[in-house]
Structure 1
Amino acid sequence: MKKLLVSLLFCSAGMTVMAQRAKVSSADENLKKQDLEKAKADIDAALQNDKTKNDAKTWLVNGKILEAMGTKQKSADLALEAFSSFKKALEIDPKMKEAILEMNQPLFNVYATVANAGYGFLNEQKWDSSVVKFKDAFSVADFYNSKNLGGSIPTDTALTFYTGYAAFQASKKDDALTFLKKAADLQFKGEPALYVVLGQLYEEKGDQANWIKIIEQGKTLFPKDKRFNDMEMAYYSKTGKTDQLISMLEKKIQENPTDQAAVLDYAIRLDNMANPRDNNGNDAPKPANYEELIGKAETNYKKAIEMSPADATANFQLGALYFNRAVVHNKQLNELDSKQQTSPKAKELQGKVEGLMNQALPFFEKADASFTAKGGNLDASDKQTYESCLYALQKIYAIKNQNDKVETVKKKLDALK
């Protein structure tokens, strides 16, 4: 009797194993029939049984079912569960024969579902979630490509760029630099923002060599995008390479002599170089070639005004050039002690202040008239410039004791606020 009992126990155990393996087969069959609910119930039963839960085939089928559910529901979470299941199957049996035949397409579907979830978060501007899902997609691709499953997922340059872009928006600067640099190395041509943002990152890091390199790459790929010319000029300006900057600006004007905007831009940049500011916005020491720079700026402001007499910005800028020089002389005048206030030097400075204020006034008045003509159509930049113009006019009118005009300007300033 004892032997018979033992024999029956072994037979029972064998029946249980067969039953659970039948569950795996049944799950696979139900998957083929697209009866995902029954397939998942069967495979869950097999995963809960000690005899089949460590079987590579069980985890392979579980992965296929989860992938089918994730693809159908467009669920990245289910897709990533499928990914974990596929990895588990290959951990248990790295050489399983079914992998090439049965894991190839499902793993690619997992990759696509997860990447699409990343794009969904990107469109919703949920930058952190987008980065997470994009990175998950790359993890799936790296795993797939490392397992010799009969195919490969090629490097997606667009996905690489958008991962970097989302990371930049999420203030993950290291991740942004890594992915954007890779996208640039891959010569991604789908979006000029790649080279704009990457240039900004190199600028922030103080990496001048890569900064100018990426600007030049952007210019080559997107020759009509004016942002790269602006970036190049900013590079030369911020790195103190003023000779190259001036040369570049002059070449631009020579190529487009009737481009009023280019002439005005040239004048403004010369003006800024002549009057540099530190990182806190305070006046920095004047360059050695100040007089040359400011003289060229004045000439080109006048040229821009000749080309477009009603240009509010050009008139304001030329008025500001004279006004700012008057402020410098006025500061020198105020620094004289009481005994020097009646000296020839004081009279000379006073004459310069009045002369420059008189030069500035008509240009500020023209700018005022042009801004007024625009009415409520001023953008933020115009509004700021107009406000500066009115403050300057108010000061000049006050010096001239033209109180009625001071009040008129005050009303215009109040209306801007």
Structure 2
Amino acid sequence: MKKLFVSLLFCGAAMSAMAQRAKVSSAEENLKGEKFDAAKADIEAALANEKTKDDAKTWYVKGKIYESLASKNKSSEDALVAYESFKKALEINPKMPEALLEMQNRMFNVYATVGNAGYANLNEQKWDSAYGYFQKAVEIRDYYNKKNLGGSIPTDTAMVFYTGYAAQQAGKKDDAFNFLKEAVKLRYKGEPALLVVLAQQYEERGDNANWIATIDTAKVWFPNDKRFNDMEMLYYSKTGKTNELISMMEKKVNENPSDFALVLDYAIRLDNVANPRDEKGADIAKPANYDELMNKAEAAYKKALELKPEDATANFQLGALYFNRAVAFNKELNALDSKQLSSPKAKELQTKVQSLMDQSLPFFEKADAGFSAQGQLEASDKRTYESCLYALQKIYAIKSQPDKVAAVKKKLESL
């Protein structure tokens, strides 16, 4: 009896293990018939049993169930359950036959489902969530590819870029930087924004060599995107390479002589290069080619006004060019001692001041009319208009026109 009893115990244990393995087989059968609830119940029963919970096949079948659900319902949550289940199966048996035969397609479906969740969140501008899903998709791809199971998930260059873009938008700039650099190495050309954002990153990091190299790449890949020309000009401006900047702008103006905004920008840049200021806005030493730059700026302002004669900003800028030169000559005049005030040099300076003030006046008056007609002004235009009115007030005062001085004062008070 004792031997029979022991034999029965062993038989009972074997029967129990067989029953649980039958649950795994039943789960597979239910999966084939798309009886997902039954399949999930069966596999959870197998996982609750000591005899089958550490069996690679059990975890692999769970992965298949949730991978099928993920593909059917486009569910990232199910896809992530499938991923963890497949990982567990491979942890128990790294070379299980089923993995070698069919895991590539299943793992790709998991990867794609998670990646698509990233795109969905990206479209809704949920940057943190989008970045999280993209990161997970990259993890899934890299995990499977390192297993050497006879296949691989190819790198989606677009996803590499969008992972970086989502990270950038989420404020994770260091993470973004790495993904964006990888996307460039992969020669992703689907979005010019890749090189816009990467160039900005290099600029912020003070890496001038890679900043201009990225802009150069962008101009080759996207020759019709004007943003990269603007970025190139910003590079030359911020790095103090004014000769290169001016040469480039001259080329652009010659190629686009009817582009008012471009011509005006060129004139303003020439003006700024000729009249440099420090970080506090104070005047610093003029360049050696000051007169040449100012003559070019004057000609460019006039060209802009030929294109748009009534433009308030262009009129103000040309008026300011003459006015500021008058101020500079007036400083020279005031620096003369009393004995020199009747000298030929003093008379020459007085003539220049008067002539330049007279030249500036009609442009300031046109600018005044233009800004007044606009009604509500943007903050930058408002500051320009204030400068215009202050200049007019001084000119009218010099010309002894108190009524006009009072009228301008009212306009200033209204601002």
Q: Which residue of 1 aligns with 2:133?
A: 133
Which residue is equivalent to 1:241? 241
The answer for the alignment partner of 1:53 in structure 2 is 53
Superposition map of 1:19-98 within 5 A: 19-98=19-98
User: Does the 8 Å CA contact 1:64/1:103 hold for their aligned counterparts?
Assistant: no
String of CA shifts for 1:62-104, please: whole Å, max 9, x gaps: 1112222333343323312211111111111011000133322
CA deviation after TM superposition for structure 1 residue 330, in Å: 6.6
> For residue 302 of structure 1, what is the aligned residue in structure 2?
302
1:260 shift after superposition: 3.8
8 Å CA contact 2:127, 2:167 repeated in 1: yes
Looking at structure 2, the residues matched to 165 and 403 of structure 1 have their Cα atoms a distance apart, in angstroms, of 59
Alpha carbons 1:313, 1:367 under 8 Å: kept: yes
Q: Would the alpha carbon gap of residues 252 and 29 (structure 1) be closer, same or farther in structure 2, given more than 3 Å must change?
A: same
* Gap change, CA 1:374 and 1:207, over 3 Å in 2: same
CA 1:414–1:43 in structure 2 vs 1: closer, same or farther (change >3 Å)?
A: farther
TM-score with structure 2 setting the length: 0.87
Q: What is the Cα deviation at residue 246 of structure 1?
A: 1.7
Return the TM-score normalized by structure 1.
Answer: 0.87
Change (3 A) 1:148 1:360: same
Task: Letter of the 1:293 partner, please give it.
Answer: L
Q: CA deviation at 1:357?
A: 4.0
Q: Structure 2: any 5+ residue segments left out of the alignment?
A: none
Q: CA deviation at 1:372?
A: 3.8
1:145 and 1:152 in contact (8 A); partners too: yes
Q: Check conservation: 1:63, 1:81, Cα contact below 8 A.
A: yes
Tell me the CA shift for residue 328 of structure 1.
5.2
CA 1:204 to 1:8, structure 2 compared with 1: closer, same or farther past 3 Å?
A: same
CA distance in 1, matches of 2:282, 2:28: 73
In 2, the alpha carbon distance for the partners of 1:95 and 1:259 equals 66
Partner of 2:266: 266
1:155 corresponds in structure 2 to 155
- Residue identity opposite 1:233 in structure 2: M
Choose 104-113 or 393-402, whichever is displaced more. Answer: 393-402
Work out the CA distance in 2 between the residues paired with 1:211 and 1:247. 20
The superposition leaves residues 289-333 of structure 1 with CA deviations (integer Å, 9 ceiling, x where unpaired) of: 333322321222123223432232221211222334455567778
CA distance, structure 1, for counterparts of residue 400 and residue 90 of structure 2: 89
Percent identical pairs in the alignment equals: 68
C-alpha change, 1:14 and 1:314, in structure 2 (3 Å) is same
> Offset at 1:394?
4.7
User: In structure 1, what residue type is equivalent to 2:221?
Assistant: L
Give, in whole Å, the separation in 1 of the partners of 2:71 and 2:387: 59
| Distance (Å, rounded) in 1 between the aligned partners of 2:68 and 2:408 | 71
Go from structure 1 to structure 2 and tell me whether the alpha carbon gap of 1:333 and 1:120 turns closer, same or farther (over 3 Å shift).
Answer: farther
What are the equivalent positions in structure 2 for 1:3-402 lying under 5 Å apart? 3-279=3-279, 283-326=283-326, 344=341, 356-375=356-375, 382=381, 385-394=384-393, 396-397=395-396, 402=401
Contact 1:301 1:317 in 2 (8 A): yes
Deviations 1:250-304 (CA, angstroms, capped at 9, x unpaired)? 2223333444443322211111222334456555554343333223212221232
Pairwise CA RMSD: 3.0
1 CA distance for matches of 2:389 and 2:82? 66
Structure 1 unaligned residues grouped into runs of 5+: none
Please state how far the C-alpha of 1:412 moved relative to its aligned partner. 5.1
Query: C-alpha separation between the residues in 2 aligned to 1:170 and 1:23?
Result: 45
Paired AA for residue 369 in structure 1: A
In structure 2, distance between residues paired with 1:320 and 1:253: 22
Contact 2:95 2:149 in 1 (8 A): no
Q: How many residues align?
A: 412
Q: Tell me whether 388-397 or 128-137 shows the greater mean CA deviation.
A: 388-397
Matched to 1:297, the amino acid is A
Contact persistence 2:371–2:385 (CA under 8 A): yes
* More moved, 284-293 vs 400-409: 400-409
CA distance in 2, matches of 1:248, 1:9: 91
Q: Distance in 2 between matches of 1:154 and 1:236?
A: 40
